[in-house]
Amino acid sequence: MDSLLNLAGILDAPLFRDIARGDVRKITNQARVVRFDTGSLILEQGAAVAGMYLILQGGADVTCANAEGQIVLLHVMGPGEVFGETEALSGLPAVANCHATQPTTLLLCPTTSVRMALSNPVFTRNLWRASYDRLAYSNRIKFVDQFYSVEQRLRDYLYRMSIEGPQISRTQAELAGFLGAARQTVNRELGRLRDKEILELTKGSIRILDRAALRENAAT
């Protein structure tokens, strides 16, 4: 189990902040490392959840689909973030889909382990803080979606998606769906960013060349 704790990202994760190494060992005693390739489905909307996931490396996005097939981007996650704990502890199915946006390594803590860990007040505090951070993120995104232009929203999305690396494995059609904009509008804005040498467009992906420039006019 010490070899598990030595993996990059576990002891430094906000989830285990201020928790003694021995207590982290107890909490993760039944945990296992799982890996997903780019685009792989981690959680399926409406399906059972095996436990709580902690992102060690890579990233994932959270999307929700309705009966008409419309998709909304809810959250973009990176190393140190957790998900699945609400469904695991409540016994309810996944409220959204979660896909790996790049090769991703996760620590999966089974539901029984998470329930036992709640007896540790510091762990419980950290888990609530993770929920708080997600709520704050959700509030911010609501303002972005309602009050900012397509260009600002696109820049904001690309900035968030490139936290862990310059390559974004998303098609222009997917971007249009996430942003709730016409594909032609998104294509035009991407073309402008390409002409400014802020990004490169390839088939099925986008490569960010100047991340700082994205932030200059993105929603803040």
Same domain assignment for residues 115 and 183: no
Instruction: Provide the pLDDT for residue 167.
Output: 86
Over 70: is that where the pLDDT of 191 sits?
yes
Q: Whole-structure pTM over 0.85, yes or no?
A: no
Instruction: Provide the pLDDT for residue 182.
Output: 86
Residue at 172: amino acid letter: Q
Angle ∠(129,133,135) on CA atoms, nearest 5: 115
Could you say which of 144, 168, 188 is where a domain stops? Answer: 144
The pLDDT tens digits for 11-65 are 889 999 999 999 999 999 999 999 999 999 999 999 999 999 999 999 998 999 8
Over 90: is that where the pLDDT of 150 sits?
no
Same domain assignment for residues 161 and 134: no
Lowest mean pLDDT among 6-15, 53-62, 121-130: 6-15
Whole domain around residue 181: which residue ranges?
Answer: 149-217
Instruction: Provide the pLDDT for residue 201.
Output: 92
Could you say which of 120, 144, 168 is where a domain stops? Answer: 144
Domain at 155, CATH number: 1.10.10.10
Same domain assignment for residues 103 and 208: no
The pLDDT tens digits for 198-219 are 999 988 889 999 999 998 755 5
The pLDDT tens digits for 172-188 are 888 887 787 888 999 99
Average pLDDT of the segment spanning 96-119 = 95
DSSP string, 108-121: EEEHHHHHHHTTSH
Q: Which pLDDT band, with edges at 50, 70 and 90, does 140 fall under?
A: confident
Average pLDDT, the chain: 89
Same domain assignment for residues 133 and 155: no
Over 70: is that where the pLDDT of 7 sits?
no
Q: How many domains does the chain have?
A: 2
Same domain assignment for residues 213 and 158: yes
Same domain assignment for residues 116 and 170: no
Q: Pick from 111, 110, 107: which is nearest to 57 by CA?
A: 107
Using H for helix, E for strand and C for coil, what is the string for 52-99? EEEEEECCEEEEEECCCCCEEEEEEECCCCEECHHHHHHCCCCCCEEE
d(CA 213, CA 191) in angstroms, rounded, equals 15
Q: How many other C-beta atoms can be found within 10 angstroms of the C-beta atom of residue 131?
A: 12
Could you say which of 144, 171, 197 is where a domain stops? Answer: 144
Same domain assignment for residues 120 and 69: yes
Instruction: Provide the pLDDT for residue 8.
Output: 62
Same domain assignment for residues 196 and 180: yes
Over 90: is that where the pLDDT of 1 sits?
no
Domain at 82, CATH number: 2.60.120.10
